[in-house]
Amino acid sequence: MALVAVAGSSRSTNTALEEKVAGVAALVDKWRPDDGQCSLFLDGSRREAGRFLCAAVELHGAMLLVASDVDQERGDECLVRAQGVLEAAMRRLQLELELLLSTVRSNAVDGAISGHDAVGDAGVVGHITMVADAMMAAGYGMECVSTFNSHRRAEFAAAVRRLLGFAPSQHAHFHKLTWEDVDGKVQSWHTAAGFAFNFAFSRERVLCHRVFAADAALADKVFAGIASDHAADLLAVAEAAVMRARRAPERLFHVLDVHATLAEILPAIACILGDKSEAAARATAALRNAGDAARGILMSFEEAIQKTTSSKAAVTGSAVHPLTRYVMNYLVLLADYEDTLARIYQQGESTLTSGSGSASRVSPSSSADSIGRLVSVLQRKLDAMAVGYRSSALRSLFMANNTHYVSKKVRGSSKLEGIVGEDWIEEKMAETRRHVDAFVHSAWRDVLVAGGEGADAAVKEAVATQRSWVVADDEMGDAVRAAAAAVVVPAYRALYRRHGTAAWMTPGDVNAMISRQFGGLRNEAAGSRPVSAGSATSRRHRLRLTSFSDKLAHVQ
């Protein structure tokens, strides 16, 4: 009786399988696996799509029952037919998955550009989830994951490429490109990396977890498979940009920008991809390398200032030296990166503290220290340059012009002013006044020490000598004229009263001559610019953050 019952059960199971095979076969005939022109969900009814998915899953379940049946002869034949139909059904669902995924714009990357948020498209994502659930339940999870993974990887890569404006793999050729080309690509990278890591990867992870909601571990694995390579490509662009910019002072700001972007995206990378992920480790290393590069560039910049040849560095008329202009404009820009520099030097201190070695030279420990150090190095270099002038008057004028320019640039930048402090500014302004006084006493010495009849000739000679000399700007011209008038005119007036003749200039004439020096009385509307004692139109030196060596080539 038991054997009869088992036989009856086997026939019943086989019959159920055959019925399910027939049902699925009919649906497969209608929705063929090779017909990519129409979709169960997009072109058919939701009800029929549900029937297809349920029928396929039930067929798989029936196959498992038959496979466990003791009556294998007839069952084997049924299973062979069922397997063929199930494979055809799964091929159709793979195609369906591709069709549905193709309607999903590349998640948040393209979504933000086009105004369409694919992750928020509940209908399409719901259909994808249903297909994925059916394939997983039918034993085709590997095929499902492979299809989803490859499609989303390709879509994500295309979207990142569109956002960047170039393929991330081009970073390998940065060393062959001009810096202008590299700079353009890095500027695009800042936007793309910030958006991708702060938003797009997060939305992609949400998509993976919605589609594979039944298995969170699998969802994480799928997301990692999609995101890891793209994260690595984006980080590789930053690495290549820093490598390309090393040791060039004018490229420091590009390195600082990269460091700032990496610091911004690192928390997002750790949150989305995991703080133990390869991407997080690589981003941390890239951040550290960018900081090391920035400190190295600053050290190179300091060395370049120190190596400027003092003996050949004199400029015509004791004007503001090109080195002074370059360095101070550089520091004004650098002060805007105070927060980034602070992180970099904090990072450097942490590295030295955790390491077993010690620095081979004394390095700045903060952004303020690094900027203050460069100002001090410049000041010492200016002192050395001044020695190149044989005339003590020119030496003093050179130092007055350059010290004035330094303090004025600091006063014109709230960031730089805050870094060096008010005391430092007051000290520099006082130093400038001392140099002006020293210049006046040296330039007008022959007048101040002249005997009776020599004063008139000494004034004319002093004015003629100073005709080609230059002051930094109108403010410096005012200071020099005021100081000269305060000292020279009273001294000349005393001589004039005792020894003056009809041929002498009057004290008023001398005062007028001094008032016309360095653009006085004829330069009221000219603005703040270098002016000579005999002309108000000298504009030789203009800042460009070009190559440091090119900038100073004419004084080396």
**pLDDT over 80 (residue 543):** no
Helix (H) or strand (E) holding 470: strand 470-471
Q: Are residues 313 and 301 in the same domain?
A: no
Residues in Cβ contact with 352 at an 8 Å cutoff, skipping those fewer than 6 apart: 358, 359
The answer to whether residue 105 scores a pLDDT higher than 80 is: no
Q: Determine the pLDDT at residue 142.
A: 93
Q: What pLDDT is attached to residue 222?
A: 95
Q: How confident is the model at residue 75 (pLDDT cuts 50, 70, 90)?
A: low
Pair 266, 342 in one domain: no
DSSP H or E run through 532:
strand 531-532
Whether 18 and 120 map to the same domain: the answer is yes
Same domain, 302 and 315: no
**Is there a single domain that holds both residue 379 and residue 504?**
yes
Over residues 289-318, mean pLDDT: 84
pLDDT per residue over 459-486, tens digit each?
Answer: 999 999 999 899 999 999 999 999 999 9
The predicted pLDDT at position 478 comes to: 94
Q: State residue 112's pLDDT score.
A: 46
First to last CA, the chain: 111
Max CA pair span of the chain: 154
User: Residue 128, Cα to own-chain centre: how many angstroms?
Assistant: 38
- Tell me the percentage of the chain whose pLDDT exceeds 70: 79
Looking at residue 321, the DSSP 8-state letter turns out to be P
| pLDDT attached to residue 111 | 54
Same domain assignment for residues 468 and 323: yes
| 334 and 265 assigned to the same domain | no
Q: How confident is the model at residue 333 (pLDDT cuts 50, 70, 90)?
A: very high
Residue 166 within a domain: no
Residues 337 and 440 in one domain: yes
Q: Which residues contact 46 (CB under 8 A, 6 or more apart)?
A: none
Place of tokens 């600053």: 298
Residues 250, 179 within the same domain: yes
Q: What is the pLDDT of residue 553?
A: 42
pLDDT-based confidence at 23, cuts 50/70/90?
low
The answer on pLDDT for 555 being more than 60 is no
Verify that 378 and 507 share a domain, yes or no: yes
In a domain, 154, yes or no: no
In this structure, is residue 104 part of a structural domain? yes
- 477 near 519, Cβ under 8 Å? yes
pLDDT digits (tens, 9 = 90+) for 124-139: 899 999 999 999 988 8
The count of structural domains within the chain is 3
Range of the structural domain that residue 388 is part of: 309-347+368-517
Give per-residue pLDDT as tens, 26-71.
Answer: 777 677 767 667 787 887 778 878 888 888 888 788 787 777 764 5
Answer whether residue 177 is part of any domain: yes
What would the two tokens of residue 310 be? 């003092």
User: Are 331 and 416 within 8 A, CB to CB?
Assistant: yes
d(CA 461, CA 524): 26
Say if residue 289 is in the same domain as residue 341. Answer: no
Between CA 346 and CA 352, with CA 348 as vertex, the angle to 5 degrees is: 120
In a domain, 161, yes or no: no
Residue 145 lies in a domain: no
Determine the Cα–Cα distance for residues 211 and 2; give it in Å rounded to an integer: 46
Do residues 54 and 193 both lie within one domain? Answer: no
Token pair, residue 252, equals: 């420091």
Last residue of a domain, one of 138, 160, 190: 138
Q: What is the pLDDT of residues 482-498, one digit of tens each?
A: 999 999 999 999 888 88
What SS3 string covers 248-298?
CHHHHHHHHHHHHHHHHHHHHHHHHHCCCCHHHHHHHHHHHHHHHHHHHHH
Q: Is residue 527 in some structural domain?
A: no
What does the pLDDT look like over 504-520, one tens digit per residue?
Answer: 889 999 999 999 998 76
Greatest mean pLDDT among 117-121, 302-306, 538-542 lies in: 302-306
CATH classification of the domain holding 488: 1.20.1280.170
Please indicate whether residue 246 or residue 270 has the higher confidence score (pLDDT): 270
Q: Please give the model's pTM, rounded to 2 decimal places.
A: 0.79
User: Which of 159, 100, 147, 106 shows the shortest CA–CA distance to 125?
Assistant: 100
Asked if residue 524 is part of any domain, the answer here is no
pLDDT at 10 over 60: no
